[in-house]
Amino acid sequence: MDHIAANLAQVKATIAQAAADVGRDPQGVQLVAVSKTFAADQIRPALRAGHRLFAENRVQEAAGKWPALRQDFADVQLHLIGPLQTNKVRDAVALFDCIQSLDRPKLARALADEFQRVGRSLPVMVQVNIGQEPQKNGIDPEHTDRFVQLVRGEYGLDVVGLMCIPPAQDDPVPHFQALARLAEQSGVVGLSMGMSGDYAQAVAAGAHWVRVGSALFGRR
C-alpha cells in the first residue's frame, strides 16, 4: 500500500507546482482525498502517511467505514461531496465536517434545522451546475448569487465555498473560471473544483479545495 503514500506525495507536489506557476501560495490549496468505493484498509495508508482531509459521496457508505477510522485518527476532516436527501441530514451532520453539495432551498432548511437541534453547525458549500446539464445536481449559475444570499440570510448558513463538477466532455478551464467569477459576484471566498484529471488546471484557476480520488487510490 506504499503506492498510496507515493501518490499522495506526487499529487501534493503537482499542486504546489501548479500554485507556484501562477504565483499562489500552495498552502492556500487543500487536497481533499476522495475515498468513495475504497475500503478502510485502502484508506489507512493515506492516514498513516499523515493525510487528514477526505471526502465521500454517500452518507451510508461513509457511516460504514469512517467511525472506526476516526477512532484511530481523531483529527480527520470528512466532507460530503455527493447528493444529500433530506431524510439523511441527521446522519450526515453527525458524520461530516463540511457539506459541499448544498443544492436546493429545502436542503438548506433541513440543515439549518438540524444544526439548531444539535447546537453545532457545519460549514457548507453551494454546488453549482456550472455546465447547466439537465441530469446534474446543482444550482443554476444564474441563480447562484440569489441562492447564496438566501441560505446566508434566511437560514444563517456558513457558506465557505462554491463547488462544481464540469461536464465530462468539456474543457474544464472555462468552467473553473466561470465558477471563480460567480464566487466573486456572490461574495463567496472558497472554490472547490478540480478532480484527478484536471486538478492542476483548477489550481491555476484559483481552487482552494481539489477533490482527488483515482489519482490517489487507483481506479474505481
Ligand X SMILES: *Cc1c(COP(=O)(O)O)cnc(C)c1O
The residue ranges that bind ligand X (CB under 6 A) are 34, 36, 57, 81-82, 165, 195-196, 211-215
**Measured from the CB of residue 71, what is the shortest distance to ligand X in angstroms?**
25
Q: In the complex, what is the shortest distance from the CB of residue 34 to ligand X, in angstroms, rounded to a whole number?
A: 4
Which residue minimizes CB distance to ligand X? 213
Residue identified by cell 473560471 is 177
Provide the b/e sequence for 55-73 (b: ≥16 CB within 10 Å). Answer: bbbbbeebeebbeebeeeb
Q: How far is the CB of 85 from ligand X (least distance, A)?
A: 16
Write the CB contacts of 13 (distance below 8 Å, at least 6 apart in sequence).
Answer: none
> With respect to ligand X, which residue has the nearer C-beta, 131 or 213?
213
Cell of 64: 460504514
165 or 207: CB nearest ligand X = 165
Q: Give 61 or 91: the residue with its C-beta nearer to ligand X.
A: 61
| Nearest alpha-carbon partner for 163 in 179, 142, 187, 174 | 179
Q: Which is nearer to ligand X, 113 or 167 (CB)?
A: 167
